Amino acid sequence: MLKAWLDRLRPASLKLRLVVLFAGLMSAALFIYSAYTAHRQSALVTDNLVTATQSLATYVADIAAPGVAANDVSTLSAQLNSLQVFAGIRAVRITDRQGSTLAAVARNAQDALHPLSPAEATQAVAAPPAQQSVAHTENGLSVWAPVGQI
C-alpha cells in the first residue's frame, strides 16, 4: 500500500521530474544565498557600528584632553553631559593612566545622562590601554581611546 502511494506521488513524465529537480535546486540555492547575505550584512553592520563608536570615542578623547591636562573635573563633567544628544551612549568614563575615574556619566531610568560619582563608576578593565581598543560585551561595545599625550 505504501509503495502504491509513493508511486502515485512520483512524477510520471521526465519533463515533470526535471521541473521538480530544477525547482528543488533553485530553492536550495535561494536559501543558501539568503543565509550568506544575512551573515554578510550582519558583519557589515557590526563593522560600521564599531567604526562609528571608535570615532565617537576619539571625539570624546579630543574634547576631554584640556580638562584632563588641567585635572578639571567640573569641565569634564560638563563635556560629558553635552553628549546627551547621542542616544546610543549608555555610559562614558574618563580615567587617568592608573585607571582612576576622573569623570563619568551614565543613562538613568528616564534615559537621561547623569553624572556618576567615582565610587559608582566601576571599571570594565583593569587599566586603560595605551592605544584605542574595542571590546564586545553582553550589553554593547566598550571602546577605549587615549586622551592626548598625557
- Tell me which residue range forms the domain holding 111: 17-144
Q: What is the pLDDT of residue 124?
A: 52
Q: Does residue 7 sit within a domain?
A: no
Q: Does residue 31 sit within a domain?
A: yes
Q: Torsion angle of alpha carbons 53, 57, 59, 64, nearest 10°?
A: 160
Q: What percent of the chain has pLDDT over 90?
A: 17
Three-class SS of 65-92: HHHHHHCCHHHHHHHHHHHHHCCCCCEE
Confidence of residue 143 (pLDDT cuts 50, 70, 90): confident
pLDDT in tens, 80-96: 888 888 888 888 888 77
Q: Does residue 5 sit within a domain?
A: no
Q: What is the pLDDT of residue 44?
A: 94
CB 95 within 8 A of CB 123: yes
pTM of the full structure: 0.66
Q: Does residue 24 sit within a domain?
A: yes
Q: Does residue 9 sit within a domain?
A: no
> How far apart are alpha carbons 75 and 67 in whole angstroms?
6
| Total tally of structural domains belonging to the chain | 1
pLDDT in tens, 7-42: 777 777 888 888 889 999 999 999 999 999 999 999
pLDDT in tens, 41-78: 999 998 998 898 888 888 888 888 888 888 888 888 88
Q: Does residue 82 sit within a domain?
A: yes
